[in-house]
Structure 1
Amino acid sequence: MSIQTVERIKASKTGIRFNRRQRTLMITILATLLVTGTWLCGFILSSENLDSHLELRNLAPSWEHPFGTDWLGRDMFTRTIKGLSLSIRVGMTAAASSVLIAAALGLAAATMGKTADRIIAWLIDLFLGVPHLVTLILIAFVLGGGMKGVIIGVALTHWPSLARVIRAEVMQLRSAEYVLISLRLGKSRWWVATRHMLPHLIPQLLVGLLLLFPHAILHEASITFIGMGLSPHQPAIGIILSESMRYLSAGMWWLAIFPGLCLLIVVRAFDIMGENLRMLVDPHRSHE
């Protein structure tokens, strides 16, 4: 008995039947609400809880302070949510920049001739041959760190894989009949690329954006953790985890456990959104 048959039997017993696309859509909506809610809570929560209250320092998790307090009496729940909100903004900006770079280079490689294609293919292989984190650290160090350094570093190191996918897609599109007819009618390559090819690439670019974000936010947190990312005065997750390391031996486990788990949940939510969106836009799975 196949898995789909078992699922149909279970659904018939409960009286509710959802196909795979409907379940995928519901999971995607839930993940979107989780990420959006975390991002909005970063703006809603009062910054007063980030002030130092020495009489409340080193408190374990309680109803009043769900994530406990740190060595300065700051509420860890507020710090974590605001740190996640900041990481989401930084990660999304960097991932969007990477998508724009990948789209521009992918279109250029397939429409501007063999010389441009060879140069861009060489650049893709060059960046793929170096670990992301090493290049990211070098770029952030050269730019002096901070939010600008992190965003530029992540944007310049996460585009090659998506650019390769876009290039391959455009290679197939340029042999389509309507593209060849447009070229014979005297339309420029830029006109054909923006009017005929780019609309077909929007689903791939959107999925690429959501799949790039987990890498962007984790790399942002990692270089911030080692002191080359965001400023220590900002409530970033990397800074929170870095500061908590010196207090773990004193038994203050909540300083690292809760921020780390929340970071993993947000990253996993974006990963689920990207994977499910790719399934939804895949025409080969539309019948499921």
Structure 2
Amino acid sequence: MENVLHAPAQRRAGNRTATLAACVLAAFALLAVVAAGIALYGQATVTDFTAKNLAPSLEHPFGTDWMGRDMLARTLAGLSTSVLVGLLAATVSSVIALILGCAAALGGKRVDAVVSWMIDLMMGVPHIVLLVLISFALGKGFWGVTIGVAVTHWASLARVVRAEVLQCRQSKFVEVARKLGQSPARIALRHMVPYVLPQFVVGLILLFPHAILHEASITFLGFGLPPEQPAIGVILSESMSYLSTGAWWLAVFPGLALMATVLLFDVAGQNLRKLVDPHTAQK
């Protein structure tokens, strides 16, 4: 009987441990990718025409391209660039979502109507189309892509933040705080921010892989990072011309690296969301 009673607690502790392990692994992977990419950035652009189009080997684990550049160095440098763009864009997008979500919930009916209209408008337009237009209008490049991703990915999180703030505003402890004479600013800082913070962090982590994928997508289409800069989208785009010659490693290894990074952070975000969701946290 005692074992049965302790089983749910043990299961919850196991879920927390697994989620923490996934988040720590994702953080270490992020640091490793960025550090390796920075360390190998110079090597990624070194050409050696005597060693071009070499298949994977011990000397070149990912092979070389048509200019003799080491594909392992290019993949890590490109992945590092994509991670930096995704991290910056996801952070800015999450802050925009937090500000607009709180404004919609606390700013009255008119502000709520305007923000809700903006959310519906943003979610009604395909991300990739709007992202291409914004990036092209800003001159493409690192900042054009980053700003484009940042201003097109906030809508879903803003809707979640709005719902969380509305629920918090109608809760008993906020009502008690008002009756005790606490100011709206003090209530927001002491009660609403801690209430929304878990969902905000989860939303930030889940936005990160989407930002990386969309950066790689528009770079692949030619509307993102410039061709001379090592980036996963550039590598995959250039490899299309050489796949018919049998140089499969030019696309397979960069694609697998991008997929592994995206899946790692997506799994970490999904596990963290299950942990903070009151409907699933007790399972």
TM-score (structure 2 length as normaliser):
0.90
Q: Is the 8 A contact 2:103 2:112 kept in 1?
A: yes
1:62 maps to 2:57 = yes
Query: Which residue in 2 is equivalent to 1:146?
Result: 141
CA distance in 1, matches of 2:25, 2:183: 44
Q: How far does residue 59 in structure 1 lie from its aligned partner after superposition?
A: 0.6
Shift of the 276–178 alpha-carbon distance from structure 1 to 2, 3 Å rule, reads: same
Matches of 1:270 and 1:56 in 2, distance apart? Answer: 35
Matches within 5 A, 1:226-237: 226-237=221-232
Q: CA offsets, 1:96-139, max 9 Å, x none? A: 11100000000000111111001101110111111111111111
Greater Cα offset, 40-49 or 169-178: 40-49
> Which residue of structure 2 lines up, in the alignment, with residue 119 of structure 1?
114
Say whether 1:99 aligns with 2:104: no
Consecutive unaligned residues in structure 1, runs of 5 or more: 9-17
Q: Contact 1:150–1:229 (CA<8 Å) still a contact in 2?
A: yes
Distance 1:166 1:50, change over 3 A: same
2:10 aligned residue: none
Aligned amino acid, residue 145 of structure 1: K
- The offset of 1:232, in angstroms, is 1.4
Counterpart mapping for 1:41-80 below 5 A: 41-45=36-40, 47-80=42-75
Calculate the aligned-residue CA RMSD, in Å: 2.0
**Equivalent residue for 1:132?**
127
Q: CA deviation at 1:169?
A: 0.5
1:128/1:22 CA distance change after superposition, 3 Å: same
Cα pair distance change 1:140/1:46, threshold 3 Å:
closer
Which residue matches 1:155? 150
| Residue number in structure 1 paired with 2:200 | 205
The alignment status of 1:166 with 2:161, answered yes or no, reads yes
Match of 1:180 in 2: 175
Residue 80 of structure 2 corresponds to residue 85 of structure 1: yes
* 1:250 equivalent in structure 2: 245
In terms of mean alpha carbon deviation, does 113-122 or 178-187 score higher? 178-187
Deviation sequence 1:49-68 (CA, Å, 0-9, x none) = 52111111111100000000
Does the CA contact (< 8 Å) of 2:44 and 2:230 recur in 1?
no
Contact 1:96 1:209 (C-alpha < 8 Å) held by counterparts: yes
State the distance in 2 between where 1:48 and 1:34 align.
Answer: 21
Name the CA distance, whole Å, in 2 between partners of 1:61 and 1:201: 48
Q: Deviations over 1:35-58 (max 9, x none)?
A: 322222112336235211111111
Alignment-derived partner of residue 214 in structure 1: 209
**Residues 127 and 209 of structure 1, relative CA distance in 2, 3 Å threshold:** same
Q: CA deviation at 1:193?
A: 2.7
**Unaligned segments of structure 2, at least 5 residues:** 8-12
Q: What is the rounded CA distance, in whole Å, between the counterparts of 1:208 and 1:78 in structure 2?
A: 31
Rounded to whole Å, the distance in 1 between the matches of 2:41 and 2:91 is 29
Paired residues of 1:111 and 1:189 also in contact (CA < 8 A): no
Q: Which moved more, 1:46-55 or 1:210-219?
A: 46-55
Structure 2 Cα separation of the partners of residues 174 and 89 of structure 1: 36
1:69 partner letter: T
SS at 1:78's partner residue? helix
Identity among equivalent pairs (%) = 55
AA in 2 matched with 1:96: T
> Separation in 2 of the partners of 1:286 and 1:179?
23
Contact 2:41 2:74 in 1 (8 A): no
Tell me, yes or no, if the aligned pair for 2:65 and 2:71 is still in contact at 8 Å: yes
